[in-house]
Amino acid sequence: MSARRPYVRSMDGWWKRDAYFISYMAREVTAVFVALYAIVLLFGVVRLSQGEAAFNGWLQYLTTPWMKVFHLIVLAVFCYHTWSWFNIMPKTMPIIFFGGKRLQPGTITGTGLVASVVACLAVLLIVRGMS
């Protein structure tokens, strides 16, 4: 008879074990707010199709204190999403050589963040120009 009796430890609460895991979970949980924001927009589109009164009701709803607080939280979460998205990007991209040298992780993350700032400013300017 074998004296072996390998012991398998539980994974319950594994994500609380390490600060690294907590930041990973924070990154993943941003998705809940992305979904909620998409649902708010979806409601806007549906209300838009129901006529002016319905759409104005939705616009009015956005100005309620709860929705203002909600959107401030969503904005903070989206900024964290942007940061974490480009932070993990060097791990998700193939190795790239640029002028014979390997592109460094910091360069990839930095380029992504700069691209995001430029894209956001472009959206703001376009919307300002359109209205």
Q: 40: which 2 tokens?
A: 């708010």
Please classify residue 9 by burial: count the beta carbons closer than 10 Å to its beta carbon, then call 0-12 exposed, 13-18 middle and 19+ buried. Answer: exposed
Under rule CB under 8 A, residue 49 binds another protein: yes
Closest CA to 77 of 119, 26, 118: 26
Under rule CB under 8 A, residue 129 binds another protein: no
Under rule CB under 8 A, residue 22 binds another protein: no
- The smaller minimum CB distance to another protein, of residues 42 and 110, is found at 42
For residue 87, the minimal CB distance to another protein (Å) is 9
The one among 22, 41, 104, 110 contacting another protein by CB under 8 A: 41
The one among 22, 56, 104, 114 contacting another protein by CB under 8 A: 56
Residues 77-116 that bind another protein (CB under 8 A): 78-79, 81-82, 85-86, 88, 90-95, 97, 100, 102, 112, 115-116
The one among 1, 22, 70, 111 contacting another protein by CB under 8 A: 70
Give the integer Cα–Cα distance in Å for 98 and 93: 14
Contact 96, 103 (CB under 8 A): yes
| H/E run at residue 130 | helix 105-130
